[in-house]
Homo-oligomer: A and B are copies of this chain.
Amino acid sequence: MHGVFPVGNSPHDHPGRGHPMSTQKEAPPEETLDPEDWESMRALGHRILDDAMDYLETLRDRPVWQHAPPEIKSHFEGPAPSDPEPPGKVYQEYLDTILPYQVGNSHPRFWGWVAGSGTVMGMLAETLAASTDAVSGAFSYQSNNYVEMQVLDWCKELLGYPRDAGGLLTSGCSASNLIGMAVARNTRAGFDVRGRGLRNAPHQMTIYCSDEAHSSIQKAVELLGFGSDALRRVPVSESMQMDLKSLKAIIGKDREDGLLPLCIVGGAGTTNTGAIDDLNSLADICAKERCWFHVDGAFGAWAAIAPGYRHLVAGMERADSLAFDLHKWMYLQYPIGCLLVRNPDQHRQAFSLTPAYLAHGEGDRGLTGIDVPWLADYGFELSRGFHALKAWMTLKEQGAAKYGRLIRQNIRQAQYLAALVEAAPELELALPVSLNIVNFRYIRPGTPNSRLDHLNKQIECELQEQGVAVPSIVTLRGRKYLHVAVTNHRSRRDDFDLLVQEVIRIGGELA
């Protein structure tokens, strides 16, 4: 196992030179996309790696974001290049026109929406995966499948989900929600949905989520053919959690109407406020109502590994399917999400389809032998990138304990920011911080809310355009707030000091 490239079974390397057809006169010279000059390409690679390391090491020295000017936009309007360009020239164009105008989510003061920040080891892992053009989730007796299975096992272990569950890595939580709800549909519809289709469903099915649920839930409901009318948006309580009394009432009404309550979607960390539904109660209701319990834990699921905060997501482990990202609160590079499904057979039965050219799982030989399951049988993608590698390498490098401390650090930073906001008379907190999201606004006594909405939107734009910080804007109970989601391993307390200072400064200048 120690030689990287065993040569014992390598065939001889220059075959067929004397073959009559390979030397025929009319054969055109053969080309490849490999470099003509490997040494200069290697030098460019080293330059790129150095620049990338410089970039990461000096993130704080530059604005979080800058507005790309119109000439940058128009720069990207030309036709397809017909002729080749020197690789170094292509890279220079990247440096001039692409790198300066990034979203900025790797910067310590990017907190808009809910974003990831990436790791250095994640970058090196992406280089490695790209070097072999690695594939995962198909073909037997190859390590990439083992790595993905191990990353899934680690996710189950860390989140307290059953070890014998099924799952797969996805492009993100939108795909995870889609696949989880597809399993719910195909498992619980009470007839052969895969074969007969929803038009032949004996009952109209209904799905339940809170008013604060992510848009990807509605997108999944629509894509799966339920129709958004089938999605019941249950009102939330003061704490922004799904109101259980309302939920029960709506389910009761739907049953009276002859509908089939199929699935309840619990949220573990909403986008707006980080609210976590009462997952144990939802699991109880699902058990009683024979509903599928899907949890959208996009970032919030990872509260489970923060020392002292696991209780926040208690009940999550009872989900029939659990969707979450690793490119947000696990800080890994886009894209990597995950879906876990309690019953791996149900997961497989919802998706598996094996045409003759993909036959696998017989014999113990070659790329199609009996081995681990092909994860392509557990989702809608066949060719799948090796997203697992960056998770595997970064988790090994950092250790899960440090990940837990960092997630706790982000939660505490949110509490720290909330305390700064409460201490400042110019600022108003929207509601108590439940996890890692802080919503607040600049206020002035006597100013109408519509004017404050406009003012806070202007403050958001100024913060972004001055390169100070990137918060976003959310609307809560009809009012606009600055939205700070702390899923950033580079943020420090003094970054939040700066944010508060600058919001007050800009607010004062604009007001």
Contacts and interface: CB of A to CB of B under 8 A. Distances in A.
A357 B472 contact: yes
12 contacts: A31-B402, A55-B131, A76-B149, A80-B154, A81-B395, A93-B396, A171-B381, A172-B381, A194-B222, A200-B227, A328-B383, A367-B464
A235 interface: no
Contacts of A497: 15-16, 19, 21-22
Contacts of A255: none
Q: What 5 A-B pairs come out closest when comparing CB atoms?
A: A197-B227, A225-B225, A16-B497, A118-B133, A52-B131
Contacts of A358: 113, 215
A419 interface: yes
Interface stretch (A138-146, A242-250, A288-296, A316-324): A138-146
A119 B45 CA distance: 13
A30 B396 contact: no
A494 B12 CA distance: 12
Interface in A384-415: 384-386, 389-390, 393-402, 405-406, 409, 412
B134 A393 contact: no
A63, A98, A492 pick with most chain B CB within 10 angstroms:
A98
Nearest to A106: B133
Interface string A210-233: 000011101110111111111000
Contacts of A254: none
B130 A384 contact: no
Nearest to A172: B383
A239 interface: no
Contact of A50 (B1, B42, B223): B42
B334 A385 contact: yes
B498 A11 contact: yes
Interface in A332-348: 333-335
A132 to B, nearest CB: 5
Interface stretch (A32-40, A276-284, A442-450): A32-40
A484 interface: no
A474 interface: yes
Nearest to A135: B103
Given A131-B123, A357-B113, A76 B15 contact: no
Given A67-B141, A171-B385, A396 B334 contact: no
Given A9-B467, A32-B490, A87-B121, 20 more contacts: A4-B100, A5-B62, A17-B494, A19-B494, A33-B120, A34-B56, A34-B57, A49-B49, A65-B367, A76-B147, A105-B135, A118-B130, A130-B333, A171-B381, A192-B227, A197-B204, A199-B204, A335-B384, A365-B461, A366-B460
Given A19-B494, A97-B1, A85 B397 contact: yes
A127 interface: yes
A122 interface: yes
B101 A141 contact: yes
A4 to B, nearest CB: 5
A355 interface: yes
Contacts of A357: 113, 271-272, 472-475, 483
A381 to B, nearest CB: 5
Nearest to A55: B131
A73 to B, nearest CB: 6
Contacts of A409: 28, 30-31
Given A147-B98, A195-B228, A199-B201, A498 B16 contact: yes
Interface residues of A, number: 221
A249 to B, nearest CB: 23
A428 interface: no
Contacts of A76: 143, 146-147, 149-150
Contact of A84 (B79, B90, B201, B398): B398
A493 B127 contact: no
A114 to B, nearest CB: 9
A57 to B, nearest CB: 5
A71, A132, A363 pick with most chain B CB within 10 angstroms:
A132
Nearest to A365: B461
Contacts of A390: 130
Given A118-B130, A132-B106, A398-B33, A146 B52 contact: no
A409 B393 CA distance: 38
A25 interface: no
A167 to B, nearest CB: 15
Nearest to A363: B461
A385 B84 contact: no
